[in-house]
A = this chain, B = another copy of it.
Amino acid sequence: MQAAYDAIYLQLRSLIENGTYPYRSLLPSESVLVSQYGCAHNTVRKSLSMLAADGYVQPVHGKGVRVIYFPETNSPLQSQCFLSTEIESFREAMQRIGIGNTTTKVLTMQECVADDSPLLAPYAKGTPLVNVERIRIYEGQALSRESNFLRADIVEGMTKADAEYSVYHYIRSVRGEKLVTCKRCIAIEPATDRDRELLDIDDTSHVVVIHSRAFDGDGLLCELCETRQHPKVFTFCQTAIHSRIHSQK
C-alpha cells in the first residue's frame, strides 16, 4: 500500500521533471494542493518537505514553494551517480547507471568473531560474524575491492555463489531482512601495496575509501564494510539544506 504523501510526492516530482512546474516557478499553494488532492494540510506538507530534501523545491515563507530543479547535462545527474543517497547493492547501482558487464569475485569468505579490535568495536564482543572479501571487475579491469564484516545470523546459509551475486539481495530476498539505515564515511587515501596488487590502478596515486555501517530492520548493526576503489568510478551527489540547529549549537 502506497502512502498518500508518497503518491503526492511522486506526482509533483514528475510534474516538475517534465516541465509542468518549471525551474524558478512557484508550485500551487498548500491550500490549493490540499483541495486538489483532497487531503489534509499536513499530508501535503510532508510531500513538499520530501521534495525539498531531494532538491526539487525550496519553500519560501509567506511567498510560495519555489521549484529549484533543472535538468543537468554537464555534471552527473543525481540518478547517474555511482554512490546513491539510497541503500542499494553494487549490482543495483551498476544497473542504475547502466554499466551492465561487471563481475564480482569472492576472494575469501570465512566465519569469525568480533574481538576488541577498533575496527570491529561497533559489534558487541563475541558476536559471530562472516568476513567476505570481494573484487569488482568491469571491462576487464579490477576497479573496486571490499572487505565486509556481516553479522552471521543475517547471512545464515549464504554461499560463495550468493556472495558473488549480491549480499544485499541475499539478505533482502532470501533472509527477508531489511536494510534501513546506512552510515557512510568517504575519504581519499594513498593507494597501498595491497591495492596495487589487487586492483588495476596503474598510475593512480590515490583510491576512494568508503567506510559504511548498515543497520537492519531492528536497528541493529549488521554490516561493517570498507570499500577501496579506483577514483574514476566515483561520483556522488547530495543536497544540503540549511537548518537552524547547527547555527545555535
Contact = CB atoms under 8 A, between A and B. Distances in A.
A204 B231 CA distance: 12
A215 B122 CA distance: 38
A231 B209 CA distance: 11
Interface in A196-249: 203-206, 208, 211, 215, 217-221, 231-232, 234-246, 248-249
Query: Could you tell me the dominant secondary structure of chain A's interface residues?
Result: mixed
Contacts of A84: 240
A86 B185 contact: no
A66 B188 contact: no
Contacts of A208: 188
Nearest to A238: B184
A241 B180 contact: yes
A109 interface: no
Nearest to A246: B86
Given A75-B211, A188-B208, 7 more contacts: A6-B245, A59-B219, A68-B219, A81-B185, A86-B242, A187-B236, A205-B206
Contacts of A231: 188-189, 206
Instruction: Name the residue in A24, A42, A73 with the highest tally of chain B Cβ atoms < 10 Å from its Cβ.
Output: A24
Interface size class of A (residues with CB under 8 A): 35 or more
B66 A235 contact: no
A85 interface: yes
Given A180-B242, A206-B204, A215-B68, A236 B185 contact: yes
